[in-house]
Amino acid sequence: MVKGAPYYYFNNVYYRSYSTGYIVVSESVVTPNLVYAPIAAGNQPLSGETITINIPNANGSYTPVMLVKRNNGYVGPQGEYYPGNPTIGQLKALYGK
């Protein structure tokens, strides 16, 4: 469990539930360097400066991920907080397909 959310570990790989089964997540997602910040009702991020990062998918498409600036970091769509700038790898672990 990380911040109340279940993650799974098998054969040295971390996973989490996803609408179509499970997805692989990077180890940094389940380690303490990420803290979770609240999001407003309706899964809309709290107000603040936003940026959108296009995360590359295996099929050549991209998934847009909107991040909200908070202090010296960013809050992602699932409420996760990244101190500083998140890496493509961190975002791909949660939002890549």
Distance between CA atoms of residues 86 and 63, nearest Å: 15
| Non-local CB neighbours of 60 within 8 Å, separated by 6+ positions | none
Q: Is residue 21 part of a domain?
A: no
- pLDDT by 10s per residue, the chain, length 97: 666 677 777 777 777 887 778 788 776 566 544 444 444 444 444 556 888 888 888 888 888 888 888 878 888 888 888 888 888 888 888 888 7
The pLDDT value given to residue 41? 43
Q: Is residue 13 part of a domain?
A: no
| Non-local CB neighbours of 77 within 8 Å, separated by 6+ positions | 39, 43, 45, 65, 66, 95
Distance between CA atoms of residues 74 and 90, nearest Å: 12
Measured in degrees and rounded to the nearest 5, phi and psi for residue 40 equal: -75, 170
0.85 exceeded by pTM: no
User: Considering its fold, how many domains does the chain have in total?
Assistant: 1
The pLDDT value given to residue 94? 84
Q: Is residue 56 part of a domain?
A: yes
The pLDDT value given to residue 38? 46
